[in-house]
Structure 1
Amino acid sequence: MSLRLRDLLFEQGVDVSDPAVLADLANEFEVQIGAADQQRVLDEYTSGRDRGVIGSPHFFTPSADFFCPALDVSRDSLGNLQVCANEAAFDEFILACFS
């Protein structure tokens, strides 16, 4: 389900916050959703925001946190998304994971 959700959001540009989209996804995977589940999502969203999560993937290690550690993600002066590999940042992330 998580891969399908990511595909909808990042590949197809679907608004995955739309309750109808989420209901269709739940039906596709035969998942029952209750009020407690909805509250848990809101609680986890708040927790992530409070911890400083800025996107996905965002990792936390004992010494630091890393957003998309293998890539430099930015926008140019026209607002176009720019994505480049960042080997040094990935190495720093790996070292933080195992230190």
Structure 2
Amino acid sequence: MSLRLRDLLFEEGVDVSDSVVLRGLAKEFGVEIGAADQQRVLDEYISGRERGVIGSPHFFTPTADFFCPALDVSRDSQGNLQVCANEAAFDEFILACFS
């Protein structure tokens, strides 16, 4: 399922936060979604937002937090995903992990 999610997001440009998309994916993989699952996801989302999470992967170290530290991720004016390596940010992340 995780590889399918990756393909939907990065290869097909699908909004994987859309509930219709997620329900279709769950059906495709035979995953049943109950009310308790929905509440747990909502609770984790709220907790993450309160901590400052803006996406995945988002890491927390003793001195800072980092969103996708090896890459600059953005969208262009047409909404296409743009991803570029960011060696300096990755180095900063590694230093924060081991200091």
Count of residue pairs brought into register by the alignment: 98
What residue number does 1:59 align with? 59
Q: CA deviation at 1:53?
A: 1.3
**Structure-to-structure mapping, 1:19-98, within 5 angstroms:** 19-74=19-74, 78=77, 82-98=82-98
The SS at the match of 2:59 is strand
Quote the Cα distance in structure 2 between the aligned partners of 1:43 and 1:17.
15
The 3 A distance-change label for structure 1 pair 19 and 88 is closer
The 3 A distance-change label for structure 1 pair 29 and 79 is closer
Q: Deviations over 1:5-46 (max 9, x none)?
A: 232123212232333322221122221210000111111111
Per the normalisation by structure 1, the TM-score is: 0.78
Per the normalisation by structure 2, the TM-score is: 0.78
- Taking every aligned residue pair, what percent have the same amino acid on both sides? 86
Stretches of structure 2 lacking an aligned partner (at least 5 in a row): none
CA RMSD in angstroms, aligned pairs only: 2.3
Q: Which amino acid aligns with 1:24?
A: G
Q: CA deviation at 1:65?
A: 0.4
Quote the Cα distance in structure 1 between the aligned partners of 2:63 and 2:3.
29
Quote the Cα distance in structure 2 between the aligned partners of 1:67 and 1:50.
15
What residue number does 1:2 align with? 2
Stretches of structure 1 lacking an aligned partner (at least 5 in a row): none
Q: Quick one: higher RCO (CA 8 Å, sep 6+), 1 or 2?
A: 2
Q: CA deviation at 1:55?
A: 2.1
